[in-house]
Structure 1
Amino acid sequence: MSCRVFGLEPEAVYGEDKEKAEFDLDFDHEVDSMDFKLNDEPVTKSFGSRMNQKARAGVIKPSGSIETSANLQILGHYFYGFLDNYKFTAGNNNKNTHEFWGGESKLLKSFRGVSVNDELVFYLFGLLVDSMKLEVSSEDMTLGADFIYKTELADILEDENEYERAEELINDLFIMFYDVSLKLNGNDPAGVQTSFTLEGNNNHDVDKTIGFGYRHPQGQAKANKRENSISIVTTLTQETVRAILDARYGDVDLLEPAKCKILQVPLELNVELCEYPGLGLTIKFPKCTLLAEFDSSGIDDVEATLNMATLGSEKVRLADNTTEVTTDMYVKLVNNQPKIAPSN
């Protein structure tokens, strides 16, 4: 049986050099796809010839990506890396609350990671979540993440069963589309929604981390503008046509484009699994721009896509019901995981 897994643990110091034996993963999980590469294209020179004559090693700008089925136990670490604020509240019966929200910090939390590819294992240092994607359609919720990182070590195993997995997660059923519900502008959206996609990007600037005398990043890349884009696909019906036109024309009850308005509404996504009462996920986008696009083909149903981009100008109240934060994205995750923090 093949072994294709990925694991994470937060770093206390960005890119700190550790021996392989010192890695203490919080978890590892199976992946549908995984790709970590050095991006070290050689620099070649032709000197007037039609053929390259000489080559030297190029600069290393390591990056990687994973895609897997999302579950409530692993999502916290990805939000921890993608968003810059985190609050933990211990709960009863090991049901703990993790809150994450976007702010203005440019130095995000970093991880060590392990990428297992059967007999070949990569130990990764200085992992930063550059982008994150959640997608729900007719089956399960998929999680995608793109990373940049500092450097790596490799290990070759005798066989693919030699890798020792981290402690098994509990209550880690993957999230299905029927576990998910949406609230648009405080209400259940009209009609039937058939897919939801969130794509977030931190736009890290790697170029400014490589200086004279080095091939790979020397320090932690800073995050630039955070961009969150959301799309919801629905079908054009009598139930949905008014809401779609409102999004298309920028105001309610119009039959032509508004003179100067665009709709700005809150959006909320909730996840509850009937197998695990008390556990769940809430993602709030307190204010989003809203546009509508159409796809009409043959005699198929007309599909409309609501495209949204988040704005960071509204407040969200945290789980303590007192603290308010201004943000473009807030996440409340209740699961069985302890506080996310570097190991001692």
Structure 2
Amino acid sequence: MTCRVFGLEPEYAYGEEKTKEQFNLDFDHDVDSMDFKLNDEPVTKSFGSRMNQKSRAGVIKPTGSIETSANLQIIGHYFWALLDQYKFTAGNGDENIHEFWGSESKLLKSFRGVSVEDEFVLYLMGLLVDSMKLECSSEDMTLGADFIYKTEFSDKLKGGAEYERVTEELENDLFIMFYDITLELNGKDPDGIQTSLTIESGNNHDVDKTIGFGARHPQGQAKANKRENTISVVTTLTGETVDSILDARYGDVGAVRPTKCKILQVPFKVNVELCEYPDLGLTIFFPKCTLLAEFDSSGVDDVEATLNMATLGSDKVTLLDGSEVTTDMYVKLVNNMPEIAPSI
């Protein structure tokens, strides 16, 4: 039987060794694609020959990736792994509020994971999200995550045994569709019709400094370096959008040629509200972004314009409790999941 499943739970301590019985996943979910590998290329020596003569085991730098349909119940774990700050507020009934934002911490939250590939299971420890991508056009929003991790062990499903799902079905876990999404650029609905959205964030972890004498695999947690957030929105060049596109292209409102030194810096917000569950939702807010515009034409096709943004961490965001934080990315998630915390 085909079974391609991935699950997560936060760790108390980075890379803490656990047996498979001690894994206590918060959830598991189906994936469209998944790949975890040790990257353990052997070291070979030829000693002057045209053929390799000897080889020994090389360094292990494990990496992994998953892609799935984004939904409001699972996405919080990925945001906490991507960003370094998290605050939970219990809501009315099961509608709980999770806030995430990027700050200056270089040691991010680590997770344990389980990767199921039909006939065997990989148990992964010390998972860190190195980058994350959200993408949507005319169908569902896809969630992609790239990981680095410390180590793993495996378990073979023998004699026709099947993987026992942690959660057969999460409550209200509908995948996000394009019609659930609205955008705000500089505090208002963007002109025209937007047909594609891509958000990419990266932590640029430094793995090389975690492997030293006496071990093949990472011995400690890799530190995150510069966080890079980029946003891309595709729209069609029309009479409604030409002014805003030229403003972005030339760096100032109303400019008809490149300005001497100005660039547009604007806030950008993505709002998600499920049609069937309007009390649940997601807000991704970038308080200040540089804004550039590119467009191209081909034959008689409509001219497509792309608004490209990169974030700046120099503006404040007010949290639910009234406190202010300086950040380049803030996320407010309302779902039915409890506080994200390591299990006992």
State the match for 1:220 in structure 2. Answer: 221
Q: Which runs of 5+ in 1 are unaligned?
A: none
State the match for 1:266 in structure 2. Answer: 267
Structure 2 Cα separation of the partners of residues 331 and 155 of structure 1 = 36
State the match for 1:86 in structure 2. Answer: 86
Structure 2 Cα separation of the partners of residues 293 and 189 of structure 1 = 16
Deviates more, 1:2-11 or 1:162-171: 162-171
Contact kept, 8 Å, 1:2 with 1:160, in 2: the verdict is no
State the match for 2:201 in structure 1. Answer: 200
Classify the secondary structure of the residue corresponding to 2:93: helix
Q: Deviations over 1:280-339 (max 9, x none)?
A: 00010000000011121111111111000000000011122x111100000000000000
Structure 2 Cα separation of the partners of residues 237 and 127 of structure 1 = 45
TM-score by length of 2: 0.99
Deviates more, 1:151-160 or 1:83-92: 151-160
Q: Which runs of 5+ in 2 are unaligned?
A: none
Structure 1 Cα separation of the partners of residues 301 and 119 of structure 2 = 47
Contact kept, 8 Å, 1:314 with 1:326, in 2: the verdict is yes
- How many residue pairs get aligned? The number is 343
Aligned runs of 1:21-100 on 2, under 5 Å?
Answer: 21-100=21-100
Structure 1 Cα separation of the partners of residues 298 and 46 of structure 2 = 51
State the match for 1:244 in structure 2. Answer: 245
Give how far 1:160 is off.
Answer: 6.5
What root-mean-square deviation, in Å, do the aligned CA atoms of Structure 1 and Structure 2 show? 0.8
Structure 2 Cα separation of the partners of residues 169 and 109 of structure 1 = 23
Structure 2 Cα separation of the partners of residues 263 and 232 of structure 1 = 16
Contact kept, 8 Å, 1:293 with 1:304, in 2: the verdict is yes
Q: Deviations over 1:251-306 (max 9, x none)?
A: 01111101000000000000001211210000100000000111211111111110
TM-score by length of 1: 0.99
User: Identity over aligned residues, as a percent?
Assistant: 79
Letter of the structure 2 residue corresponding to residue 310 of structure 1: T
Classify the secondary structure of the residue corresponding to 1:72: coil
Letter of the structure 2 residue corresponding to residue 213 of structure 1: G
Q: Deviations over 1:52-75 (max 9, x none)?
A: 111111100000000000000000
Structure 2 Cα separation of the partners of residues 260 and 96 of structure 1 = 45
Structure 2 Cα separation of the partners of residues 254 and 110 of structure 1 = 47
Structure 1 Cα separation of the partners of residues 283 and 49 of structure 2 = 60
State the match for 2:140 in structure 1. Answer: 140
Runs of 4+ in 1 over 6 A off after TM superposition: none
Structure 1 Cα separation of the partners of residues 320 and 282 of structure 2 = 13
Classify the secondary structure of the residue corresponding to 2:245: helix
Contact kept, 8 Å, 1:3 with 1:161, in 2: the verdict is no
Give how far 1:49 is off.
Answer: 1.5
Structure 2 Cα separation of the partners of residues 98 and 174 of structure 1 = 18
State the match for 1:288 in structure 2. Answer: 289
Question: Cα gap change, 1:219/1:160 in structure 2, threshold over 3 Å: closer, same or farther?
Answer: farther
Letter of the structure 2 residue corresponding to residue 238 of structure 1: G
Q: Deviations over 1:210-236 (max 9, x none)?
A: 010110000000000000011000000
Letter of the structure 2 residue corresponding to residue 146 of structure 1: D
Contact kept, 8 Å, 1:32 with 1:67, in 2: the verdict is yes
State the match for 1:310 in structure 2. Answer: 311
